[in-house]
Structure 1
Amino acid sequence: MITLREITPDNFRAIIQLSDTLDESQKKSVAPNVVSIAQAYVNLERAWPRAIYLDEEPIGFVMMALQDDDIPEADQPAYFLWRFMIAKPYQNKGYGKQVIDILKQKAIEDGMAYWYVTCTMHDPMPYQFYITCGFEDTHEMDDDEQILKMRLK
Structure 2
Amino acid sequence: SDTLTDQQKKCVAPNVYSLAQAYLNSEQAWPRAIYLGETPIGFIMLDIDPEDIDKKENAYYLWRFMIARDYQGKGYGKKALDLIIDKCKEDQKSVLYTSCDMEEEMPYRFYMNYGFTDTGVFDDDEKVLKLQLI
RMSD of Structure 2 on Structure 1 (CA): 0.9
Residue 58 of structure 1 aligns with an amino acid whose one-letter code is P
Separation in 2, partners of 1:68, 1:37: 17
Matches within 5 A, 1:1-153: 19-75=1-57, 77-153=58-134
Cα shift at 1:73: 3.8
User: Which stretches of structure 1, 4 residues or longer, exceed 4 Å deviation after superposition?
Assistant: none
Aligned partner letter, 2:82: D
Please, which runs of 5 or more residues in structure 2 have no aligned partner? none
Identity of aligned residues (%): 55
Which stretches in structure 1 are left out of the alignment for 5+ residues?
1-18
Separation in 1 of the partners of 2:55 and 2:47? 16
Instruction: Write the deviation string for residues 46-69 of structure 1: whole angstroms up to 9, x where unpaired.
Output: 100000001111101000000101
TM-score (norm. length: structure 2): 0.96
Give the counterpart letter for 1:67 in structure 2.
D
**Alpha-carbon deviation of 1:117?**
0.3
